[in-house]
Structure 1
Amino acid sequence: MDLTSLLGIETPLVLGPFGGMSSVELTATVSEIGGLGSFGLYGLGPDRIAEVARELRERTSRPFALNLWLPLRRPGEAAPGEGFDRGDYDRAVDALRPLFEEAGAEVPGWPVAPLPGFDLQLEAALAARPAVLSFVFGVPSPELVEEAHRRGIRVVGTATTVPEAVALQEGGVDAVVASGAEAAGHRPSFLADPESSLVGSFSLIPQVVDAVDVPVIAAGGIADRRGVAAAFALGASAVQVGSAFLATRQSVAPAVHRDRIRSAQAHETVLTRAMSGRSARGLPNRAVRTIERSGAIAPFPLQNILTGVFRRAASQQGEADLLSLWMGQSAGLARHDDAVEVFAELAAGLPSAPR
């Protein structure tokens, strides 16, 4: 079965899920025009997950995906639902205080509320019965995959290396996203640290295609028809695109973020732990440089929760130097501010598209 039939979509184009930056409007738009819209559930509690699913179904009757972060726990990190270390909090707050003050945001007091537990998120996501559940940061358990399949939900996992792709196939997923090092946002590596798992899309995609029998969705460095054509030439069955869609008016990214995406150059993006505590690709700004100089970066997700306070204030003020300017290395190829136009540009690179 090809990927479009497997997922119930018309066009093999997937919207990248944005953890914390997903938009019902953008997700529904991509699904409604024949692709697979995706909504990232990072940080959302069960009630909000149910609400998101209802809002999506009010906007489209087409298939959509919900995305969850598996509870990968690296040294020093707190698992979802667990509390944080007071020493980490104190050190991070001292380093971040000038950024809170600049944004006019109040420093969150101790104790900091933990993220919703993964089991509660999963229960709500399964109950929502999306066409697809996609995962980052690990291999979903056999029980999870079996339950999703029992409910008619397809399961997609994300790999940054060939061994991760093989592990996902062995775990029973229906398709694998091969996420090249060029991709925006968090690096979802899980078998090794992200810094030693940086494989470019041109190397990663064909090697994953050769290593697994399930369909491969190419991600990372794809922003126009040329990237789509290249991904399919390398053996991909679909492409997943983030930055080009994040730059559209249907996204929730503030205007200054969208403008920076369209004007960025490939060499300008960096991998940094400064804003969230985990390695992620974006455009460096004053906040990133200030935090990195301080040397006091709390483990994920505490760092992400703390910086999120001044980032929300900065978003309302249109202050780009205090935002997480997530974007991939091909961000500057984004030319359109409407998601329908982005979709049409990408579709023009599909093998069956007229030349």
Structure 2
Amino acid sequence: MRVIIDELRTPIVLAPMAGGPSTPELTAAVSRAGGLGVLAAGYLTVAATAERLAATRALDPGPFGVNLFVPGAATPADRYAGYLAELARDFPLGEARFDPDDWSAKLERLTADPVPLVSFTFGCPSAAEIERLHAAGSEIWVTITSVAEARIARDAGADVLVAQGAEAGGHRGTFADRAEDDVADPLTTLALVQLLTAAVDLPIVAAGGIATGAGVAAALAAGAAAAQLGTAFLDCPEAGTARVHRDALALDIPTMLTRAFTGRRARGLRNRFLLEHPDAPVAYPEIHYATGPLRAAARASGSADAVNLWAGQAHTLTSREPAADLVRRLSAETKSALEKALSRRIQCY
């Protein structure tokens, strides 16, 4: 079965970066340049999602996708109350609440007003939900971080797997975020792609730590059909990235996984807040909503020490250029890297 990535002029997919960076302009620019733009609908109401869909379509992008967050379950307040009480001594906080992110309404909207593809993060929709979207004409992508999750997505009817490696910036796309899993190292992108190609017969989009054409070429050589990049697009003028976030990308600062800002593991640049709260509890989206005001205040004041600077491990390779130019440059670099690799003499002993 042919899927959308088989028709792209270049195997480059825009990661759906919810919370600010994702915009209709960025999504459309990537698609118009021959890649595949994916619009983030996470944290948006269904009305706001519809507005962004209309704005994206008005830019005549060609095929593009929309990403939804699969809701989990509410967390008992006693698991995070102590952490928030500690934060409240130094920072303004909002209400800690569970929110299914307008899940049902967004599914209804995308069924009635379909897009070429719908991708999912934080879990896998049910087989019935996938079938509804299939019937409306949408292709289904599911973000996975392990072979076990890939098999669940395949059995539910997913068309494409987005293989998110440990290097990726932002939230981990695991189906379940469990503190007991922290003792195990998450799979890297290259390792995960190789394991998936041996275990699951579905197209794979590699995601995590890919910032150059050489990185895209490596993912393709490992068996991926395309590469998904997020951090690489954060400093594009079309992105809605905050100035404090843009300024930090070029700094040689290590990244780390943390739950400090949202209650769910995510990779960001190390700053004081991350380092001072290494034992934040598992409680998403409750902590995410509670820390909203402190993050907004930090962005407004330009304080890099108290804002979630989500970024992948290759963030220092990010450059400021229009998204279409970046897609074209990455495409040329990918072709060059593949040709260079093929030109090397490979001897068998």
TM-score clears 0.5: yes
1:179-194 equivalences in 2 (<5 Å): 179-190=164-175, 193=178
Query: Displacement, 1:197?
Result: 6.2
Question: 2:169 aligned with 1:170, yes or no?
Answer: no
CA 1:207/1:116 → structure 2, altered by over 3 Å: closer, same or farther?
closer
User: What amino acid does structure 2 have at the position aligned with 1:23?
Assistant: T
Show the counterpart of 1:226. Answer: 214
Show the counterpart of 2:11. Answer: 12
Preserved CA contact (<8 Å) 1:4 1:12: no
What do the CA deviations read for 1:130-168 (whole angstroms, capped 9, x no partner)? 111001122221111111111110000111111211221
Distance, in Å, in 2 between the alignment partners of 1:69 and 1:88 is 23
Percent identity for Structure 1 against Structure 2: 36
Preserved CA contact (<8 Å) 2:79 2:283: yes
Preserved CA contact (<8 Å) 1:69 1:137: yes
Distance, in Å, in 2 between the alignment partners of 1:15 and 1:345 is 14
Preserved CA contact (<8 Å) 1:161 1:197: no
Question: 2:284 aligned with 1:300, yes or no?
Answer: yes
1:250-269 equivalences in 2 (<5 Å): 250-265=238-253, 268-269=254-255
Query: Displacement, 1:98?
Result: 4.7
Query: Displacement, 1:121?
Result: 2.5
Show the counterpart of 1:55. Answer: 55
User: What amino acid does structure 2 have at the position aligned with 1:145?
Assistant: I
Preserved CA contact (<8 Å) 2:30 2:324: yes
RMSD value over aligned CA atoms?
2.4
Preserved CA contact (<8 Å) 1:291 1:297: no
Show the counterpart of 1:32. Answer: 32
SS at structure 1 position matched to 2:107? helix
Question: 2:275 aligned with 1:275, yes or no?
Answer: no
Preserved CA contact (<8 Å) 2:193 2:206: yes
Preserved CA contact (<8 Å) 1:99 1:310: no
Distance, in Å, in 2 between the alignment partners of 1:242 and 1:221 is 9
Show the counterpart of 1:317. Answer: 301
CA 1:134/1:93 → structure 2, altered by over 3 Å: closer, same or farther?
same
1:78-157 equivalences in 2 (<5 Å): 78=75, 85=77, 87=78, 90-100=81-91, 107-108=93-94, 112=97, 114-157=99-142
Greater Cα shift, 140-149 or 193-202: 193-202
Show the counterpart of 1:81. Answer: none
Distance, in Å, in 2 between the alignment partners of 1:244 and 1:148 is 30
Show the counterpart of 1:327. Answer: 311
Query: Displacement, 1:91?
Result: 3.0
Distance, in Å, in 2 between the alignment partners of 1:224 and 1:204 is 19
CA 1:115/1:147 → structure 2, altered by over 3 Å: closer, same or farther?
closer
Query: Displacement, 1:88?
Result: 5.5
Question: 2:273 aligned with 1:287, yes or no?
Answer: yes
Query: Displacement, 1:336?
Result: 3.3
Show the counterpart of 1:71. Answer: 71
Preserved CA contact (<8 Å) 2:259 2:282: no
Query: Displacement, 1:339?
Result: 1.7
Greater Cα shift, 282-291 or 45-54: 282-291
Provide the aligned length of Structure 1 versus Structure 2. 335
Q: What are structure 2's unaligned runs of at least 5 residues?
A: 341-349
Query: Displacement, 1:116?
Result: 3.6
SS at structure 1 position matched to 2:241? coil
**Superposition TM-score, scaled by structure 1 size:** 0.86
CA 1:148/1:296 → structure 2, altered by over 3 Å: closer, same or farther?
closer
Given candidates 186, 202, 208, the residue that maps to 2:196 is 208
SS at structure 2 position matched to 1:326? coil
